[in-house]
Chains A and B, each alone.
Chain A
Amino acid sequence: MASSKTITVEVDDVSYTDDVEPRLLLVQYLRERLGKTGTLVGCDTTNCGACTVHLDGVSVKSCTMLAVQADGHQVTTIEGMATDGRLAPLQEAFHQCHALQCGFCTPGMIMQSASLLTENPHPSEQEIRDGLEGNLCRCTGYQNIVAAVRSVADGTVYGDSGVSTTVGETETAGVS
């Protein structure tokens, strides 16, 4: 086994210095060493996006990076999104729009959506869908995830924005 290397990484505004094996993936470092278990592992081929975090503000799949590559960088995980106990707008929007069911893809979806909105603050529906192509969800059919991202982009509360996902009496405008 290769010798370990010392890295210093700022994760969710806290600096950590650790000895890590060079082969350790960033996601393993976050989950197993730092206990940041909000970042999840859904595949072993970088397809599902459940492990998405921000590296210096840009979304990356943390199963695709080695921990040593994060040395000297800033990482934000889902645990760093809510501040002072208040949900970030996307977290609130996912809740408001019923954009999660089992919730396993949700941290990755939120991190990717945040990155998408930084790059393109006013995406079209197609741009949102394209921007989430690397994140798989098996529960929601994506429609409500798209609506959540859209509602943050529009700066509106879902239901007042006209981003209705349905017709007829199933409209989900009621936010109780």
Chain B
Amino acid sequence: MTATTEVGGTGASRPEVGKARLRKEDRHLVTGRSRFTDNMVLPGMLHLAMVRSPFAHAKITAVDTAAAKSSPGVVAVLTGADVAGEQGSVPNVWPITPEQKGPDHPSIAVDEVAFAGEVVAVIVARTAAAARDAVELVDVSYDELPVVMDLEEAFTDKVLAHTSLESNLSATWVFDSAEAGTGSSVQEAIDNAEVLIERTFYQQRLIPAFMEPRSIVVDPTGEQVTMWSSTQVPHIARLMVALTLGIPESKVRVIAPDVGGGFGGKLQVVPEEFITVMAARRTGKPCKYTETRSESLQAGHHGRAQVQRLKLAARKDGTVTGLSVNLLADMGAYLGLIGSGIPILGAFMYNGIYKFPAYRLECNNIFTNKAWTGAYRGAGRPEATFAVERMMDELATELGMDPLAVRETNWIRHEEFPFTTVAGLEYDTGNYEAATSKAVDHFDYEGLRAEQKRRRDANDPVQLGIGVSTFTEMCGLAPSRVLGALNYAAGGWEHAQVRVLPTGNIEVVTGTSPHGQGHETAWSQLVADKLGVPFENVEVLHGDTQISQRGLDTYGSRSLVVGGMAVLAAADKVIEKAKAVAAHLMEASEEDIEFVNGSFTVKGTEQSTAFGDVAFATFSAHNLPDGFEPNLDSDATFDPANFSYPHGTHLAAIEVDTETGHVGILKYVCVDDVGVVVNPLLVEGQVHGGLAQGIAQALYEEAVYDDAGTLVTGSFVDYLVPGAADLPHYITARTETPATSNQLGAKGVGEAGTIASTPAIVNGILDAVRHLGVKDIKMPCTPSRVWHALEEAKTTGGVR
């Protein structure tokens, strides 16, 4: 069933890859010996607190810092004017079109604020409490300006989010399969459609809500700037700090120690990081800033926030003939690091797992007076999958087909891979039949359909619905060439170094930067197999730009399929180098040396030398081949030829209490195909966590602003991150279709659960109540929304 036993290739007799290894990372975390940034204390350290705008849009007419400056313990107060020559605009690195527009974005606002929570002044004080006390003493005078909060209204430009811009439109990006040569004309498909489904979906704003609030410590010793930051992207942060503040890159070191979750939310280089650097350089003292949860929710980046208008053309037999998508994407007030590119990441996935012959997407990125948006688990792909999976259910309803049957009518069949989609991606491998059939078996699809009918016939107050969701995603970002074609400023390669210590123990340096994914364990498994050394003898180093000198960090499920492959490639080079030493030691020709089970053997003989002996011989350098550098360490950079395409089928049995609107998840089954699995425990953990976040979008979470631009859900009292009692027991299983774009056959797993679960839940809710006349319910499907939808259906009366 699996290719895992072959993956190690040269190394171990008992393969580590595929084994449910317990994590190396856990011990210090379960004992409270964690190294989260806010735990750090440096001698003489000062503390920062931010003065933030209470208004969503206003001119700043004066900032009086006199009282704050004389407050006990206050060392300095910084305003935008104070740092005017120093702060470059907070960067956006993804101009999705050459015409993309955006406002200047100083870390500390100078003339104008464009969302509530924007930093207007910064207190630097001897203690955190003294800093917070002084926040109240800064007197900022504002002239309020009109705000534009609604995305569709913002598109009309009646109110501008920034006075410096002539329009709220940042960029318009279009993909048309007829123009791209990947498919036919959508307009023709619509004109000739036997069935045309038109729907609008609202992807509510979500907040990544990582559990560790962001924390930054900067030590400005000498000319060197050392920044500890709770970030997913230490390498990118280092570059951005250097470019934005005009510091030579070689003087900037960024360390991401223990990082308490990210989910894309820490894939942002934030004003507070630049501010803490500026404060430390000005005072010459180490400075710390740790945001409160309210600040995190208010001023950290948000996700989703799109309006999707779709038209799906089909024939009466259920065959889709074309899909047209019109997107409005809410950028918030500013373009984040990659916020502009998130909607177009989704643009490639609106055809899902299907053979759509025609496809067109137009995306408009729009400014509003809200917090900026950026990556949030899945980043563009959950939005796309939701829309296409909802449309497939609408089509099934229209035609009276089973939702699984309409999918099967359109999906790419196993024997048709590799398959170039209408969006221009080449899906390398997939087996949607196998995943679906396994999910159906575990779910008891027929049994639950029968129960659904029983409840409908009995007019049971608690109705049952079955939610179907199938998905694939493009993940493992790279390839660099493709990212370049999409105007992303950087590549997507990943770097690793494998260092061989004198004892034969191994240090792996990875350019990826984990925040809970378990890289130390998984990378140890990869290398243990490859080099035939015990799992315990591998140490994994990461998250420090001085140790891991090159890298592009962790996001988009790229760590294993790009970063892990760099590790394997570096280990391959180690073996090649060590072969020369082994041949020399055994007085054999290099071509006759094989590496098997952790030893170098002369082919066809009993002669053999262990990897550890070669390592020590290299270290001692007493007897090496002429000219051989006494060093087996190797570097590799991996840039895959293609994305990877995990897929899966999720089924949810949903109970809707028609009297209260309460939604319960009776059963949740997901079958994910993430290719070859390195560690099933880690995969399962990622799937569980992903499911929780996807279900949360369907049922609980939404960032809500009032008309004046205040974030109403500004604390965990109002922003409903689900607890243990709010979520079901998940039944997870896998199929395994190895990817071809990397030597391991892995596909990536971090986002799968999130992408697939949201439509599964909403499709299930609608399946439960559609016969009562409910046509759609906006997310999150709270009891109130569900109840109102049921009441409205009663008054309008129509059963579809």
Q: Across the interface, do B19 and A176 meet the contact criterion of CB distance under 8 Å?
A: yes
Q: Which of B26, B41, B129 has the most CB of A within 10 A?
A: B26
Interface centre among A50, A94, A102 (most CB of B within 10 A): A102
**Are A103's CB and B516's CB within 8 A?**
yes
A42-B293, A48-B211 are known contacts. Are A102 and B32 too (CB-CB below 8 A)?
Answer: no
A13 within 8 A of B: no
Q: Is the CB of A40 within 8 A of B36?
A: yes
**Are A170 and B680 in contact, with the CB atoms below 8 A?**
yes
Give the Cβ gap from A155 to chain B, nearest Cβ, in Å: 19
Which residues of A in the span 19-74 have a Cβ within 8 Å of any Cβ on B? 21, 23, 31, 35-45, 47-48, 50
CB pair A104–B716 under 8 Å, yes or no, is: no
Contact of A102 with B515 at beta-carbon distance under 8 Å, contacts A125-B729, A138-B721 already known: yes
Q: Is the CB of A82 within 8 A of B31?
A: yes
Q: How far is the CA of A129 from the CA of B722 in the complex (A)?
A: 11
A6 within 8 A of B: no
Pick the contact of A139 from B213, B258, B689 — CB < 8 Å? Answer: B689
State whether A50 touches B211 (Cβ < 8 A): yes
Please tell me if the beta carbons of B31 and A78 are within 8 angstroms of each other in the complex.
yes
* Closest partner residue, chain B, to A1 (CB atom): B72
Across the interface, B260 reaches (CB within 8 A) one of A45, A95, A104, namely A104
B27 within 8 A of A: yes
Query: Which residues of chain B from 286 to 302 have a CB within 8 Å of any chain A CB?
Result: 292-294
List of B residues within 8 angstroms of A98 by Cβ? 22-23, 681-682, 684-685
Instruction: Say what secondary structure dominates the interface of chain A.
Output: loop
B724 touches A133 (CB 8 A): yes
Given contacts A170-B680, A172-B680, contact A144 B688 (CB under 8 A): yes
Question: Which of A42, A79, A132 contacts B212 (CB under 8 A)?
Answer: A42
Q: A45-B715, A166-B733 are in contact. Are A104 and B36 (CB under 8 A)?
A: yes
Which single residue of chain A is at the shortest CB-CB distance from B209? A138
- B292:A44 contact, CB within 8 angstroms: yes
Q: How distant is the Cα of A3 from the Cα of B685 in the complex, in angstroms?
A: 49
**Residues from 89 to 137 in A contacting B, C-beta threshold 8 Å:** 91, 94-96, 98, 100-107, 110, 125-126, 128-130, 132-137
**B19 and chain A: residue at smallest CB distance:** A176
| B716, A48: Cβ atoms closer than 8 Å | yes
Q: Are B518 and A142 in contact (CB under 8 A)?
A: no
Interface residue count for A (Cβ, 8 Å)?
A: 69
Number of A-B contacts (CB under 8 A): 226
Distance between Cα atoms of A76 and B727 in the complex (Å): 30
Q: Are A135 and B259 in contact, with the CB atoms below 8 A?
A: no
Question: Contacting A103 at CB < 8 Å: which of B258, B292, B688?
Answer: B258
B32 touching A47, Cβ below 8 Å: no
Bound CA span A16–B724, Å: 36
Q: Mark A142-166, 1 if CB is under 8 A from B, else 0.
A: 1111100000000000000000011
A175 located at the interface, meaning its Cβ lies under 8 Å from any Cβ of chain B in the complex = yes
B32's partner among A77, A96, A132, A175 (CB-CB below 8 A) is A77
- In chain B, positions 513-536 with a C-beta closer than 8 Å to chain A are 515-518
Distance, CA A1 to CA B72, complexed state (A): 10
Question: How many angstroms from the CA of A138 to the CA of B438 in the assembled complex?
Answer: 28
Report if B800 contacts A (CB, 8 A): no
Given the contacts A44-B292, A172-B20, A79 and B681 also touching, CB distance less than 8 Å: no
Q: Which residues of B contact A137 (CB under 8 A)?
A: 211, 724
Interface residues of B in 8-53 (CB under 8 A from A): 19-23, 25-27, 29-34, 36, 38-39, 41
Contact (Cβ within 8 A) B30 A102: no
Which residues of A are found within 8 Å of B211, using beta-carbon distances? 42, 48, 50, 102, 104-105, 136-139
Query: In the bound complex, do residue A41 and residue B716 qualify as a contact, i.e. CB atoms below 8 Å apart?
Result: no
**Cβ contacts under 8 Å, A47 to chain B:** 715-717
Q: Is A169 an interface residue (CB 8 A)?
A: yes
Distance of A77 Cα from B34 Cα, bound (Å): 13
Q: Quote the shortest CB–CB distance from A98 to chain B (angstroms).
A: 5
Contacts of A110 in B (CB 8 A): 30
Contact status A38-B684, CB under 8 Å: no
> Known contacts being A37-B32, A45-B716, is A130 close to B725, with CB within 8 Å?
yes
Of the candidates A21, A35, A104, A132, the one whose C-beta lies within 8 Å of that of B723 is A132
Known: A35-B41, A38-B33, A45-B294. 12 other contacts (CB 8 A): A39-B32, A87-B30, A91-B30, A100-B29, A101-B689, A103-B516, A104-B211, A139-B689, A143-B688, A144-B685, A168-B733, A170-B684
Chain A to chain B: the 8 pairs with minimum beta-carbon distance, closest first: A38-B32, A103-B29, A104-B260, A102-B516, A168-B733, A141-B688, A78-B32, A101-B516
Question: Could you show 16 A-B contacts with beta carbons less than 8 Å apart?
Answer: A42-B293, A45-B294, A94-B30, A101-B517, A101-B685, A126-B725, A138-B721, A140-B692, A141-B730, A142-B727, A143-B729, A166-B732, A167-B733, A168-B732, A170-B680, A172-B681
